[in-house]
Structure 1
Amino acid sequence: MFGHSGSSRSRVALAGALSVGLAFSLTACGGDKKDDSSGSTDTATSSIDCAQFSQFGDLKGKTVSVYTGIVTPEDAPQKKSYEPFEQCTGVTVKYEGDKSFETQILVRARAGNPPDVAYVPQPGLLKQLVETGKAVEAPAEVATNVDKWFGKDWKAYGTVAGKFYAAPLGANVKSLVWYSPKEFADKGYTVPTTLDQLKELSDKIAATGSKPWCAGIGSGDATGWPVTDWVEDFMLRLSGPEAYDKWVSHEIPFNGAESTAAWNAVGDYLKNDKYVNGGLGDVKSIAGTTFQDAGLQILEGTCSLHRQASFYAANFPANTKIAEDGEIYAFYLPGKDATSKPVLGGGEFVLAFADRPEVKAFQYFLSTDTWANLKAKASSGWVSANKGLKVENLTNPIDQLSAKILQDPSAQFRFDGSDMMPAAIGSNAFWKQATAWISGQDTTTTVNNIETAWPK
């Protein structure tokens, strides 16, 4: 979720796995059927009220440039979802996707050549962009939408130095455990609703002689990041959101009691020879297994549980039924009790570098429930924390599960911690020390090494 972002990880996992194919009917705009990128034509299924854009004046013939790290094939449903806006307003959205977005956007902003709008996948990068002095605060109309459709946690991530700059766009949920519904039904296992129940389930499976968990942390130069997600999830669950925030900002040390407890709790799973690594080897095999491959062992029947984000769905074979009654599904990684709902995840934010009326109108559109529902129908493997998103408009069960988790009134959402830490930690020491830890290094050495690496 970086040099790494939740979105970057999503892009790796989702490549080639998204479907596109919604055509929009614009009854208020006079639009008709549109060809999708595959050349097929779908029946119109959505309409949009064009009157909402009149507050921004006559925008015909204007252009809004968008710069993002969302590239092929994920860019097709993005572009498709803008068509209602373009037909309502007469604005042309000029889309530019770039795999090097996260470095190039800073270069462009500092050089005084930013786009009108950028989709920023990290709160830390958002802060850096605001500090260039080139970004502009979000319009009042966007702030109103965010107050209406998103939780305070999400608005806070788009706020820098007390000023609101960026509305949320997409989201992903990391607090998931993948499993086989058929295996659970056949063996009488039940989905746990507390951390204690998760441990009991793991012990129950281990007692059968099977290894309950499978894991892999291999990811090229980013090897180790799946461990950081585990640690962040347990930091959030064991010590709570406020302590998590202080840990991320280094108000409490990386080798403090809270952090050490989180690492030890993760170790109870990932460094436990009775629990891992189903179908792949012993504990040390985790470091040599790619994150993409690890969860596939559930289909092989050699492990039962795999903790990984919502975007992991893209790694299963195309003919795999991923549903509550399918071969594969996921459940929410529970909190300490059944009432607390800590959620670890990631997402993107819409940051503008211009305040022309057409730019404001486009920002407004992206912050509405209207756009969230159009986008939901346009693609698979996408979800938003927008409370106006109708779960039934999402096209697959994992997206629906993610939306329900994000929309839960008890949800306490926190962004991937390593994405918000200094690069020397979040995309360096944290990953490398996590890998060393999996390979045999003790917890005390691990947390001390990361603490020492924190920039002074």
Structure 2
Amino acid sequence: MKAHGRGRTLISVAALGAVGIVVAGCSGGPGDTGGGASGGADDNVVTVYGTIADTEAELLEQSWADWEDENGIDIKYESSKEFEAQIAVRAQGGNAPDIAIFPQPGLMADMATRGYLKPAPEAVQKNVADGWTEDWANYATVDGTLYGAPLMASVKGWVWYSPSFFEEHGYEIPTDWQGLLDLTAQIQSDTDSPPWCIGFGSDAATGWPGTDWVEDIVLRQSGTDVYDKWVSNEIPFTDPAIKSAFDEFGKIALNPDYVNAGFGDIKSIVTTPFGDPATALVDGDCALHHQASFYDGFITDAGGTVAEDGDIWAFLLPPYEAGGSSSGAVVTGGGEIVAAFDDAESTQKVQEYLSSADWANSRVALGGVISANKGLDPANASSNILKEAISILQDDTTTFRFDASDLMPSAVGSGTFWKGMIDFVNGTDTDTVLQQIEAGWPSS
């Protein structure tokens, strides 16, 4: 899920609840929505609505500027921090955009199931087949129908650290989860300071960085089958496999000797904005931080260089057991899905371009982001860590799973799961937290 800028979308949990209320309470059907805001009225104008804001929005518009001129189509982009709530309101009221950039496949699927979205046109289907793995295509598919195409992506589960600090103390990159815990203990012993800095703060979306931790551990500890069944609630949050992941995370997050470097005690995790640890890393106030590939930009903004011989570099959270069960990397990640509310010719042309390798290379070359499109040249990425992330996504041996909370119904993934992570680090016992998260799962 993308944020305003480089992180997560800043969403109101109350607003997320409103999505279900508004859509469930529709008296009119999807046929009452009409087309997009301008797709049928002016074939030279295509409206696009999403969560990407500020500098990232400017780069997004720059990425398609030449294509607009060449094709005589004006793409009007609008961003909103309340996208999740407003997209449902606008669809119900007949004021949907022509195209939406969904930060959550689960929300896209919900809109498709309710009949608001148009199936992807043939040109988009071809681009998806040529440029994306079957897993990525599945995230845009509902009941066997492809509705959209992936856009940008991120690789999650990176542990950011200072190479010079590691070299000075003779630390090595751990090869399994226990090795990471041992490294944590060693750094604490050597420095008499907490090694980890963790920030859950994200305005109304506070708590999401904790879900990333749990997702990474579930995938590495229990494997893809458990992960997939957890996403669909065939395995509930109260299952021992999920509890074990929380407990493993707690070995770091609930240990007062291990957190929260530069910010305070364990409870400061919730109040620390998720971007602030970047400065603590660069300043040397903390040794380790867990965050996705987009954090490269936060570290650069904090004055650090991201390189193997730079101020900060990163390694992937190791497998639960050395060697693991796969020959390649095992990672979670995120991204967006582009889908349309109308099928006007101009809308379909924009969809086709945004699903192409040409667009992926155009946007990635502008810096700060990556894509999982197979036609993307990693050399276009703006940093070495982003180049490495692209290589991971393009590697056929990689085991990739989309961010679980983004695939779950919003009442859970962006509701009780986020709140549960806050309660967890604030001291609520694990069983109670898991029961409360699971209680948010829709009954139908």
TM-score (normalizing by structure 1): 0.83
Give, as a single letter, the amino acid of the residue that structure 1 aligns with 2:101: Y
**Residues 296-311 of structure 1 aligned to structure 2 (within 5 Å):** 296-311=279-294
Find the residue that maps to 2:199 and give its secondary structure: coil
**Equivalent residue for 1:364, pick from 352, 363, 367:** 352
Q: Which moved more, 1:278-287 or 1:242-251?
A: 278-287
Counterparts of 2:258 and 2:7, CA distance in 1: 27
The reply to whether residue 329 of structure 1 matches residue 313 of structure 2 is: yes
Taking a change above 3 Å as real, the CA distance of residues 349 and 325 of structure 1, as seen in their structure-2 partners, is same
Q: How does 1:130-145 map to 2 (within 5 A)?
A: 130-145=112-127
1:107 corresponds to: 89
Q: Which residue, 259, 264, 267 being the options, matches 2:247?
A: 264
Conserved in 1, the CA contact under 8 Å of 2:6 and 2:297? Answer: no
Letter in 2 for 1:63: V
Aligned-pair CA distance for 1:12: 5.5
User: 1:366 deviation in Å?
Assistant: 1.5
- Residue 168 (structure 1) aligns with: 150
1:376 corresponds to which of 364, 369, 376: 364
Query: Where does structure 2 lack aligned partners over 5 or more consecutive residues?
Result: 11-41
Q: How does 1:42-53 map to 2 (within 5 A)?
A: none
1:405 equivalent to 2:389? Answer no
Gaps of 5+ in 1: 1-5, 16-59
Matched residue SS, 2:200 = coil
For 1:11-22, what aligned pairs fall within 5 Å after superposition? 11=6
Aligned partners of 1:215 and 1:295 also within 8 Å? no
- Is 1:213–1:275's contact at 8 Å kept on the other side of the alignment? yes
Cα contact 2:5–2:53 (8 A) shared by 1: no
In the TM superposition, residue 334 of structure 1 has moved relative to its aligned partner by: 2.1
Counterpart residue number, 1:91: 73
Per the alignment, residue 69 of structure 1 pairs with: 51
2: CA distance, partners of 1:144 / 1:326: 41
Q: Aligned with 2:361: secondary structure?
A: helix
The letter for the 2-side match of 1:325 is D
Where does residue 33 of structure 1 map in the other structure? none
Match of 1:433 in 2: 420
Query: Number of residues paired by the alignment?
Result: 406
**CA spacing shift, 1:319–1:296, aligned 2, 3 Å:** closer
Mark the CA change 1:265 to 1:119 in structure 2 (over 3 Å): closer, same or farther.
same
Q: Matched residue of 1:207: which SS?
A: helix
* Pair 1:305–1:437, CA change in 2 (3 A): same
For 1:10 and 1:270, locate their aligned partners in 2 and report how far apart those are by CA, in whole Å. Answer: 26
Give the conservation status (yes or no) of the 8 Å contact 2:198–2:290. yes
Instruction: Look up the match of 1:53.
Output: none
2:107 and 2:409 in contact (8 A); partners too: no
Equivalent position of 2:295 in the other structure: 312
Report Cα offsets for 1:150-201 as digits up to 9, x if no partner: 1111111000111111110011222111111111222222223432332332
Aligned to 2:332: 344
Residue from 374, 377, 390 that aligns with 1:390: 377
RMSD after superposition: 2.3
1:448 to 2:435 alignment: yes
TM-score, normalised relative to structure 2: 0.85
Alpha-carbon distance in structure 1 between the residues aligned to 2:95 and 2:357: 31
Q: How does 1:273-288 map to 2 (within 5 A)?
A: 273-288=256-271
Deviation at 1:9, TM superposition (A): 6.0
Paired amino acid for 1:8: A
Say whether 1:203 aligns with 2:192.
Answer: no
Give 1:37's aligned residue. Answer: none
CA distance in 1, matches of 2:315, 2:337: 26
Letter in 1 for 2:417: F
Q: Give the conservation status (yes or no) of the 8 Å contact 1:136–1:354.
A: yes
Instruction: Tell me if the contact between 1:112 and 1:134 (Cα under 8 Å) persists in the aligned partners.
Output: no
Identical columns (%): 44
